[in-house]
Amino acid sequence: MPNLVNPHGGEKLRPLLLEGAALAEQRKRAQTLPRVPVSSREKGDLIMLGIGGFTPLDGFMTHTDWRGVCDGMTLANGLFWPIPITLSTNKETAGQIKLGGDVALVEGSEILASMKVTEKYTMDKAHECATVFKTTDLEHPGVKMVMEQGEVNLGGPVKVLSQGGFPEKYGALYMTPAQTRAVFEANGWSTVAAFQTRNPMHRSHEYLAKVAIEVCDGVLIHSLLGNLKPGDIPAEVRTRAIAALIDKYFVKKTVVQSGYPLDMRYAGPREALLHALFRQNYGCSHQIVGRDHAGVGGYYGPFDAHKIFDEIPNGVLETRPLKIDWTFWCYQCGGMASDRTCPHRQQDRLLLSGTKLRKLLSEGTPVPAEFSRPEVLDILREYYRGLKDDEKVEVKLRGHSAR
């Protein structure tokens, strides 16, 4: 049997989603509890806690954990963790909650989880933004998300009661860490590279995935299914385009496509570490880290996410980065290349990015054949043709995407 990497912090996954009689009993009890609404980001975090994606966390972070993660990327118990996983509410709601008491965490009328509130605390939002995002600029979508949180954080363990509709919406595409591990084992894989994407895959993405297949048993193309920023392409369109690419241009049984329920934070290097951490829980030994991983605009250097893996202590993550340089189409080479393999001039290169592709498609501008596969472009053009005027968002090229 192949040996996959261990889950983070131990030898077993720690899913917090109840099942069977325990689920039915807790759902009934939760109906009687005070209700705390959760944001979209908090819902995604809650589901990851439920399915074991955030193993070994047992709930939302206390103040000591929050401070340790912001300042040193460690929980109070010393375990590595790069981004705070917190739950917030307003002062009025917090004032009605008793310490040691339970609350129901809800989205609309649906109860997603119950939580024992062990701590109520205020946090310095600007401090979280400065340490995690390296900016307090409200134009940064992750900063904006934090600054709009409630004034009070609630810390404590959770019992998760729902997967928030993701299995029903995405079917077999949505897999838990236990399910991806079972697929990898059935395939006989022990080394698996995760490819993180919030965009449809263009030729540069395809190149990165195929480089990984050369050195690993297989690749998990792991698509974000939660909320994105305006102008990004919805998951149901993106994953259909990726499926067409896999079907036409990859060797059978070298790729697994799946999705996970988080919202993007756009935290650049720190989010790259979080991606590697939960990919370890999904069974991946490696994570592909290309240009400006999980970045937005020009807030991070193109390879800051490469550097941060060299700055963390050895052994805190089993999942290791596959660092890949700038990739592009070179007209002189006649194919995909990188700064490490191509000796030609900038004028000979077509630089590819998801932002550039969205801009071309949204404006109805012809897309060079070297940019993306025709089967992918057909699906994306159909999506853009179907957008109403009030659904269209101007795509701006900033930072590295403007090169």
Residue 113 CA to residue 104 CA, distance in Å, equals: 6
Q: Which of 121, 145, 164 is the last residue of a domain?
A: 164
Burial of 11 (0-12, 13-18, 19+ CB in 10 A): exposed
Mean pLDDT, residues 310-334? 95
CA neighbours within 13 Å on the CB side: how many for 309? 23
Count up the domains in the chain and report the number: 2
pLDDT of residue 395: 62
Question: Higher pLDDT residue, 353 or 131?
Answer: 131
β-strand pairing of 110-116 with 102-107: antiparallel
| Count of C-beta atoms within a 10 Å radius of residue 163 | 18
Mean pLDDT of 368-390: 89
Instruction: Return the pLDDT at 318.
Output: 97
Query: Are residue 123 and residue 239 in the same domain, yes or no?
Result: no
Q: Are residues 151 and 219 in the same domain?
A: no
281 and 358 belong to one structural domain:
yes
Cβ-contact 243, 376 below 8 angstroms: no
The whole-number average pLDDT for the span 146-174 is 96
- For the chain, state the CA radius of gyration: 21
Across 49-66, average pLDDT? 98
Is residue 14 situated within a structural domain? no
Q: Of the listed 153, 181, 199, 358, which one is catalytic?
A: 199
**Percentage of residues of the chain with pLDDT beyond 70:** 96
Element (H, E) at 337: strand 335-338
Q: Does 238 share its domain with 381?
A: yes
Residue 394: band (very low, low, confident or very high) from pLDDT cuts 50, 70, 90: low
Same domain, 176 and 199: yes
Q: Is residue 113 part of a domain?
A: yes
265 given a catalytic annotation:
no
* 51, 27: one domain: yes
Classify residue 7: in a domain, yes or no.
no
Res 402: pLDDT: 44
- Of the listed ranges 57-66, 210-219, 310-319, 363-372, the least confidently predicted one is 363-372
Measured distance CA(14)–CA(163) in Å, rounded: 15
When pLDDT is averaged across residues 92-105 and rounded to a whole number, the result is 97
* Residue 32 identity: T
pTM of the shown model = 0.94
**Rounded-to-integer distance, Cα 275 and Cα 211, Å:** 19
Known catalytic membership, residue 227: no
* For residue 400, pLDDT beyond 60: no
Written as one letter, the residue type at 377 is L
pLDDT at residue 208 tops 90: yes
Dihedral angle computed from the Cα positions of residues 371, 373, 378 and 381, in that order, rounded to the nearest 10 degrees: -20
Considering the domain architecture, whether residues 195 and 147 belong to the same structural domain is answered as no
CATH number at residue 33: 3.10.400.10
Do 397 and 334 fall within a single domain?
yes
In a domain, 121, yes or no: yes
Residue 1 lies in a domain: no
Q: Compute the mean pLDDT over every residue in the chain, rounded to the nearest whole number.
A: 93
Here the CATH number for the domain that contains residue 215 is 3.40.50.620
> In this structure, is residue 6 part of a structural domain?
no
What are phi and psi for residue 28, nearest 5 degrees? -65, -45
Residues 54 and 197 in one domain: no
Out of 145, 164, 183, pick the residue that ends a domain: 164
Q: Could you count the other beta carbons within 10 Å of the beta carbon of residue 234?
A: 11
Q: In Å, how far are 119, 124, 179, 277 from 211, measured between CA atoms?
A: 47, 42, 25, 22
* Count, residues in the chain: 403
Beta bridge partners of 259: 174, 223
Decide which of 114, 146, 164 is a domain's last residue.
164
Q: Could you say which of 67, 198, 265, 358 is catalytic?
A: 198
In the predicted model, is pLDDT for residue 129 greater than 50? Answer: yes
Residue 135 Rama label (left phi>0; alpha psi -120 to 50; beta): beta
Question: Residue 108's CB: how many other CB atoms inside 10 A?
Answer: 7
pLDDT at residue 355 is higher than 80? no
Same domain, 59 and 159: yes
Note whether residue 114 is domain-resident.
yes
Asked if residue 367 and residue 221 are part of one domain, the reply reads yes
Same domain, 56 and 198: no
The H or E element that residue 329 is part of is strand 327-330
Please report whether residue 10 resides in a domain. no
Q: What is the mean pLDDT of residues 21-43?
A: 97
High-pLDDT (> 90) share of the chain, %: 81
Which residues constitute the domain of residue 74? 20-164
Which of 70, 86, 24, 55 has its CA nearest to residue 283? 55
